[in-house]
Amino acid sequence: MAGAAAAIDVKLLRVATLLESDPAAAAREAARILSEHPGHPGAQLLLGTAQRSAGDLPAATAVFAQLATAQPDAAPIQFELGRVLAAQGRDSEALAALQRAVELAPDLAPAWAELAALYAARGDTGACDQAYARFTRLAPPEQHLGEALRALANHRLAAAEALLRARLARAPQDTAALRLLAGIAAEREDYVEAEALLGQCLRLTPGYSHARFDLARILHSQQKAEPMLPLLERLLALEPQNLHYRTLLADAYNVLGQNEQALQILAALLAELPDNEWVWLYYGHSLRTAGQAQEAITSYRRAIQIRPGFGQAWFSLGNLKTFRFSAADLTEMRAQVARADLPDSERLQFEFALGKALEDERDFAGSFAHYARGNALRRAAVGYDREVTTRLVERSRALYTREFFATRAEFGAAAADPIFIVGLPRSGSTLIEQILASHSQVEGTRELPDVLTFALELGVRDVPGAPALYPQRLARLSREELTALGERYLAQTQIHRRLGRAHFIDKMPNNFLHLGLIHLMLPRARIIDARRAPLACCFSNFKQHFQSGLWFSYDLVDIGCYYRDYVRLMGHFDAVLPGRVHRVQYERLVTQLEPEVRRLLAYCGLPFEEQCLRFHETRRVVQTASSEQVRSPLYSESLDQWRHFEPWLGPLKEALGELASAAPGES
């Protein structure tokens, strides 16, 4: 008897191995076993599973229904019955079977996944997310991707990508693989690809909260706050106390200029988690954005009190440009940097903070040494190829001729609402924005990501081994397509126009790389080039840790080459579109405020208003590194600060070439 049972088990095992590769053959084998052993439950279960996999749903349903009648308390049978009923659109019956399956076996992970899909199809998002969360706890969706996960943990992106793409070639609907692949795309700042992959992931598996959170974070990286809100609301409906979701929601409100709502969220978190240093840090950021500098300092100090080795809090204090560290602060920061166990991610924050502290103490050699170490740590952690920018500039100069623009003179949306401020960071762009936002007809917003998103969609990112697509692809766009892009830009940015003024500012600095696109889709928009003397601008970028993006700023040679590319491209637009761009020289603005403001307003077609000269009185949300400086009257002491560091700027001067000796206004 035992031998006969063993023989049947061998046959059943053979059927099971055929299920994935050849379900029709598996069904035939199972039927053969049943002809020899009528009513064998194991063979019946395999037969029904094989029939379902082969697409013979009615036959599979009949098998599972018979089994369910005979074994009403068998969870696997209820699960299989539910799956086959759901595949036929018999949702109510499927729901009953699947609910019975998890009632009988609460740890039956696949049943929770099937329930999540069924709830999603019925529009019950709450039940969908709860069911999928249960599945995730029982069987993490990524558990079968161990080798790819290990490669990612060791930052071997190419190896991880190859493994994931191989998996997706075999199983294109593997949402866990799609999610991890999106993470790799985001790591490379290919946000268009990352968004597409995560969107596909959520269409296939709507309850996948990890993917939804990843999408919210990727949107936040691009400062796309509006589409973050429904994602975070759904996540919070599932986990209302989740710290990550709540702080990210506060960030989204900050980006949207709804600072009071952000502060309310963070204040509530502090009431619940008074000893959480991260919440104090985020609260400090929101206070700073709102112009409450002293309160921000108190918040950062509290974060440091909780964890003295919290580098981001020390850096955030230093990043308040008007703040000065005490002697005790300096001693503590030096002690932290001396720790052998301090992670590089914290160390570089301390290095930038110490650079600022020693610069204020006029120890310029010590200051530069710390700035250099912080930059070196950051540069080693990011991928930046300066030649990519140079090639983009060369392609732009080749495409954008007078004739190219002349043949497209009537293209684009007619609105004159946007005022673009472009250039390098730390060039006075926030000051220009504050001056313009003090005018009754102009609304200051922030650094908007929309133009860059369009450029990404049009192929701006270099793909190794593939031909460059941007900006040459613009030559193939019709009048209607370019007009539609302009209208889309206006629609997407409407959320930031809370005051309803006639004009609004987009202060994304690196939009200078996309002036051709801006001109083609919005030919009446104003474009202002915020220009600062080369050595002053470049060194100011070097000593500023931007936390994300702006990878060119962590090496003096990279910065010098980037500045040269910027000047060459802006000079090209001056030649092919004379007068299209208005240049504001920072040094002249600081020393000759009124005449420069009058010129600026005249270019924008705006009447002169005295309030623009008293810009520091204007109360508004400011999110850049200059937020404290633009809330104070102008001072000229910063114009030549770079000269204190001149002995160490040889690599920068060499990269700048003749620009290094150019007087302000000559670059």
Question: Residue 386 — very low, low, confident or very high, per pLDDT cuts 50/70/90?
Answer: very high
Query: Mean pLDDT throughout 383-403?
Result: 95
Q: What is the DSSP string of 72-121?
A: TT-HHHHHHHHHHHHHTT-HHHHHHHHHHHHHH-TT-HHHHHHHHHHHHH
Share of the chain above pLDDT 70, in %: 93
pLDDT of amino acid 54: 74
Tell me how far CA of residue 462 lies from CA of 219, 415, 510, 535, in angstroms: 21, 32, 17, 29
Under a CB-based contact definition with an 8 Å cutoff, are residues 452 and 508 in contact? yes
For the 416-461+475-618+646-661 domain, the top CATH level (class) is alpha beta
CA distance 660 to 654: 8
pLDDT of amino acid 631: 46
CA distance 594 to 634: 12
**Dihedral over alpha carbons 540, 542, 543, 548 (to 10 degrees):** 110
Tell me how far CA of residue 498 lies from CA of 250, 503, 506, in angstroms: 18, 12, 14
Under a CB-based contact definition with an 8 Å cutoff, are residues 395 and 472 in contact? yes
End-to-end CA distance of the chain: 94
Query: Mean pLDDT throughout 324-329?
Result: 96
pLDDT of amino acid 11: 67
Tell me how far the alpha carbon of residue 106 is from its chain's centroid.
37
Place of tokens 């914290």: 346
pLDDT of amino acid 634: 66
**How many residues are given for the chain?**
667
Extract the tokens encoding 22.
């050849």
The pTM of this model reads 0.81
- In the predicted model, is pLDDT for residue 636 greater than 80? no
Q: Which CATH architecture has domain 2-138?
A: Alpha Horseshoe (1.25)
CA distance 547 to 593: 32
Question: Residue 15 — very low, low, confident or very high, per pLDDT cuts 50/70/90?
Answer: low
- How confident is the model over 193-228, as pLDDT tens digits? 899 999 999 999 999 999 999 999 999 988 888 899
Question: Residue 6 — very low, low, confident or very high, per pLDDT cuts 50/70/90?
Answer: low
**Dihedral of alpha carbons 233, 235, 236, 242, sign:** negative
Which range has the worst mean pLDDT, 322-326, 418-422, 617-621? 617-621
- The torsion angles phi and psi of 665, rounded to 5 degrees, stand at 95, -10
Query: Mean pLDDT throughout 306-332?
Result: 94
Under a CB-based contact definition with an 8 Å cutoff, are residues 485 and 424 in contact? no
Our separate counts of H helices and E strands in the chain read 33, 5
CA distance 312 to 72: 59
Identify the three-state secondary structure at position 654. helix
- In the predicted model, is pLDDT for residue 94 greater than 60? yes
Partnered with residue 423 across adjacent β-strands are 530
Extract the tokens encoding 571.
């000079």
- How confident is the model over 461-494, as pLDDT tens digits? 877 777 889 999 999 999 999 999 999 999 999 9
pLDDT of amino acid 23: 72
Partnered with residue 506 across adjacent β-strands are 420, 446
Under a CB-based contact definition with an 8 Å cutoff, are residues 55 and 87 in contact? no
Which helix (H) or strand (E) segment is 504 a member of?
Answer: strand 503-506
CA distance 123 to 234: 13
Which helix (H) or strand (E) segment is 442 a member of?
Answer: strand 442-446
Place of tokens 């070439």: 657
Under a CB-based contact definition with an 8 Å cutoff, are residues 436 and 616 in contact? no
- The torsion angles phi and psi of 435, rounded to 5 degrees, stand at -65, -50
Please tell me if the domain spanning 2-138 has the same topology as the one spanning 416-461+475-618+646-661: no
**Dihedral over alpha carbons 643, 647, 650, 651 (to 10 degrees):** -90
CA distance 215 to 556: 34
- How confident is the model over 234-252, as pLDDT tens digits? 999 999 999 999 999 999 9
Q: What is the DSSP string of 364-413?
A: HHHHHHHHHHHHHHHHHHS---HHHHHHHHHHHHHH--HHHHHTTTT-S-
- In the predicted model, is pLDDT for residue 274 greater than 90? yes
In this predicted model, which residue has the larger pLDDT, 300 or 622?
300
In this predicted model, which residue has the larger pLDDT, 444 or 634?
444
CB count within 10 Å of CB 411 equals: 20
Quote the DSSP letter at residue 416: -
Quote the DSSP letter at residue 385: -
CA distance 654 to 547: 27
Nearest residue to 269 via CA among 255, 285, 280? 280
Which helix (H) or strand (E) segment is 423 a member of?
Answer: strand 418-423
pLDDT of amino acid 627: 46
Place of tokens 């696109």: 517
Question: Residue 630 — very low, low, confident or very high, per pLDDT cuts 50/70/90?
Answer: very low
- How confident is the model over 503-550, as pLDDT tens digits? 999 999 999 999 999 999 999 999 999 999 999 999 999 999 886 668
Tell me how far CA of residue 510 lies from CA of 128, 370, 504, in angstroms: 41, 27, 18
- How confident is the model over 590-623, as pLDDT tens digits? 999 999 999 999 999 999 999 999 998 886 455 4
User: Per-domain residue ranges for the chain?
Assistant: 2-138, 416-461+475-618+646-661
Under a CB-based contact definition with an 8 Å cutoff, are residues 530 and 624 in contact? no
Under a CB-based contact definition with an 8 Å cutoff, are residues 464 and 157 in contact? no
Query: Mean pLDDT throughout 36-43?
Result: 73
CB count within 10 Å of CB 609 equals: 15
pLDDT of amino acid 625: 45
Output the average pLDDT for the chain: 90
- In the predicted model, is pLDDT for residue 141 greater than 60? yes
pLDDT of amino acid 510: 94
CA distance 434 to 378: 30
CA distance 119 to 135: 14
CA distance 330 to 311: 13
CA distance 423 to 531: 6
- In the predicted model, is pLDDT for residue 370 greater than 90? yes
